[in-house]
């Protein structure tokens, strides 16, 4: 296929996009939108600066030729800074794709992903219920927040506050578990110290350093070799202090500075009420005739089957 044919395919793909569709450049992650398509150029607007920039047809052709000449993919690091938008727009073509992990722009025989972010889902997108524990609790929490205004705490009764606290605790636990799983996966994909951006935010690979002392004998021997008197590094062992308190008349206040603070913790979860509330949501949705309500109704029916597993709670006596 000639470049002329590819160019018109690219223009058609750009024209079919929503005016609000946002594209992102592959290296600097600058966000922009296409504001106009013309026979020999594409006009874009950089979102952060509201600056308009024309992308010329002949420059697209140059990039197209370089991708073809590269064979295994054109290395993005070879792009001039002002050429990044060309690579992002080119991915609107169904056979060009950016592989950020490999750092290349490639041409394929199959339809590919684009650099478009933040585009609203189409009506044909299917909603699916994720098989994660936080989903049911999040649905209940959203319903509770819609019925009670959490910005006016003083107006809420005690039972409502307890319900909100319990659901927030369950959501936090489930979200933290899911967050850890996602972070473990991202570690294999984020390889540099530079932030990697997405629609709602960015992440950056970093490291945390921790240390623990070696065996006492080894530490003292190393310090002695360095001319450090061991008396200078010997201190109070907290474990031995606790043992001493058990066999003497000393009180904690004699050896500790104590800061005691009151706090609230979740003591129990009423699974029956959660299940009943989910049923209530289902009944309420039954009175609503819409495609979205039908989808939510189906999701809640599935949630009911899994509610015991998703909201399980064990008391301290059961754990021991």
Could you tell me which residue, 221 or 312, shows the higher pLDDT? 221
Find, among 129, 139, 128, the residue nearest to 277 by Cα.
Answer: 139
Beta-carbon count within 10 A of 36 CB? 13
Side-chain-side CA neighbours of residue 182 (13 Å): 8
Mean pLDDT of 200-220: 77
In a 3-state reduction of DSSP, which class is residue 21?
coil
Most confident of 98-107, 172-181, 284-293, 298-307: 172-181
Distance between first and last Cα of the chain: 70
Find, among 103, 101, 102, 114, the residue nearest to 187 by Cα.
Answer: 101
Task: Report the pLDDT value the prediction gives residue 140, as an integer from 0 to 100.
Answer: 86
Could you tell me which residue, 123 or 30, shows the higher pLDDT? 30
Residue 139 burial class via C-beta count within 10 angstroms: exposed 0-12, middle 13-18, buried 19 and up: buried
pTM given for the model:
0.44
Q: Which residue has the tokens 């043992």?
A: 243
Cα–Cα distance for residue pair 216/99, rounded to 1 Å = 51
Task: Report the pLDDT value the prediction gives residue 87, as an integer from 0 to 100.
Answer: 92
Q: Which residues contact 79 (CB under 8 A, 6 or more apart)?
A: 27, 86, 87
pLDDT one-digit tens code per residue, 45-63? 998 887 889 999 999 999 9
pLDDT one-digit tens code per residue, 105-142? 888 776 566 667 655 444 444 556 777 878 888 888 88
Measured in degrees and rounded to the nearest 5, phi and psi for residue 311 equal: -120, 30
Q: Which residues contact 211 (CB under 8 A, 6 or more apart)?
A: none
Find, among 159, 156, 179, the residue nearest to 167 by Cα.
Answer: 159
Mean pLDDT of 60-86: 88
Token pair of 11 as six digits: 């223009």
Side-chain-side CA neighbours of residue 2 (13 Å): 3
């Amino acid at each position: 296929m000639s470049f002329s044919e590819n160019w018109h395919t690219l223009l058609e793909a750009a024209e079919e996009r929503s005016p609000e569709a946002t594209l992102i450049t592959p290296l600097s992650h600058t966000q922009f939108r296409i504001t106009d398509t013309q026979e020999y150029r594409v006009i874009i607007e950089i979102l952060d600066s509201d600056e308009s920039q024309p992308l010329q047809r002949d420059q697209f052709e140059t990039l197209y030729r370089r991708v073809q000449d590269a064979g295994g993919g054109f290395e993005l690091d070879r792009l001039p800074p002002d050429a990044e938008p060309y690579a992002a727009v080119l991915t609107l073509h169904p056979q060009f794709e950016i592989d950020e992990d490999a750092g290349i722009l490639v041409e394929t025989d199959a339809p590919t992903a684009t650099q478009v972010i933040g585009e609203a889902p189409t009506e044909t997108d299917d909603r699916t219920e994720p098989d994660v524990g936080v989903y049911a609790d999040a649905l209940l929490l959203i319903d509770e927040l819609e019925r009670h205004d959490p910005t006016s705490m003083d107006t809420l009764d005690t039972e409502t506050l307890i319900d909100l606290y319990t659901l927030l605790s369950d959501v936090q636990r489930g979200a933290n578990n899911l967050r850890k799983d996602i972070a473990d996966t991202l570690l294999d994909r984020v390889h540099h110290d530079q932030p990697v951006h997405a629609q709602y935010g960015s992440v950056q690979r970093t490291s945390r350093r921790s240390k623990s002392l070696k065996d006492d004998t080894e530490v003292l021997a190393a310090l002695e070799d360095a001319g450090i008197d061991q008396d200078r590094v010997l201190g109070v062992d907290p474990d031995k202090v606790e043992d001493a308190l058990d066999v003497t008349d000393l009180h904690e206040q004699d050896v500790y500075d104590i800061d005691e603070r009151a706090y609230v913790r979740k003591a129990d979860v009423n699974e029956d009420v959660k299940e009943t509330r989910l049923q209530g949501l289902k009944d309420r949705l039954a009175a609503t005739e819409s495609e979205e309500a039908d989808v939510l109704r189906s999701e809640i029916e599935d949630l009911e089957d899994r509610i015991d597993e998703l909201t399980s709670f064990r008391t301290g006596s059961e754990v021991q």
